[in-house]
Amino acid sequence: MEMADAYPDVVIGCAGGGSNLAGISFPFIADKLAGKTNTRFIAVEPEASPSLTKGEFTYDFGDAIGTTPLFKMHTLGHTFVPNPIHAGGLRYHGMAPLVSALFDAGVYEAKAYHQNACFEAAILFASTEGIIPAPEPTHALKAAIDEALEAKETGEEKNILFHLCGHGHLDLSAYDNYFSGDMVDYALPSEAIAEAMKSVPQIG
């Protein structure tokens, strides 16, 4: 950003376990917590695996079979079985404890999208920038496009920084699926979350 002689007004990353989001946003969050800036931070997840937008902030295991220590994090329950969306890296049941704590403190906003909307954004990006994104960052991309469209509407000038955390050269079958019209948007029933949340250890 220094090379571009700019500072972001909004920082956006997709969020599976939270690592790429933390990498792109923590340095700017440090500035915000020091009271120097007023940047917004957006974590974007799939509707099919919504640990921030629909999970609970509690102690849970980091793995599916319950062998790790307990972490305080946003979780859908460690036995949660996600639908087979193309963004395989975003299907984790939990979220990094530091990202979870910052979300709980109101530093991160979070939003969730269905995969068809994300691939529509990816096609626009690939046709305009010549880069094919991996299915995971298409979520960040969709949120970045939405921010840009909103700014266009309000006439506000905004520096939007989003993290393109992987290319999609090995995900062309997902694009084929999208173009064939076979891509499914999975709505996650609240009963499925409630069932998996029963696996969360009771601490008391």
Ligand X SMILES: Cc1ncc(COP(=O)(O)O)c(C=O)c1O
Footprint on this chain of ligand X (rule: CB under 6 A): 14-21, 89-90, 134, 136-137, 165-166
For 198, the token pair is: 């029963």
User: Are the beta carbons of 109 and 40 closer than 8 angstroms?
Assistant: yes
Residue of closest CB approach to ligand X: 89
Q: Which is nearer to ligand X, 7 or 57 (CB)?
A: 57
Q: Which is nearer to ligand X, 48 or 165 (CB)?
A: 165
At its nearest, how many Å lie between ligand X and the CB of residue 136?
3
Strands (E), 9-135: 10-14, 40-46, 56-61, 70-75, 108-113
CA atoms within 13 A on the CB side of 42: 24
At its nearest, how many Å lie between ligand X and the CB of residue 148?
21
Q: How far apart are CA 204 and CA 201, in angstroms?
A: 10
At its nearest, how many Å lie between ligand X and the CB of residue 83?
16
For 54, the token pair is: 């629909």
Q: Which is nearer to ligand X, 104 or 195 (CB)?
A: 104
At its nearest, how many Å lie between ligand X and the CB of residue 96?
7
Q: Which is nearer to ligand X, 20 or 58 (CB)?
A: 20
User: Are the beta carbons of 71 and 60 closer than 8 angstroms?
Assistant: yes
User: Are the beta carbons of 2 and 77 closer than 8 angstroms?
Assistant: no
Which residue carries 């963004």 as its tokens? 87
At its nearest, how many Å lie between ligand X and the CB of residue 36?
26
Q: Which is nearer to ligand X, 164 or 188 (CB)?
A: 164
At its nearest, how many Å lie between ligand X and the CB of residue 45?
9
Q: Which is nearer to ligand X, 21 or 145 (CB)?
A: 21
Q: Are strands 56-61 and 70-75 parallel, antiparallel or unpaired?
A: antiparallel
User: Are the beta carbons of 191 and 75 closer than 8 angstroms?
Assistant: no
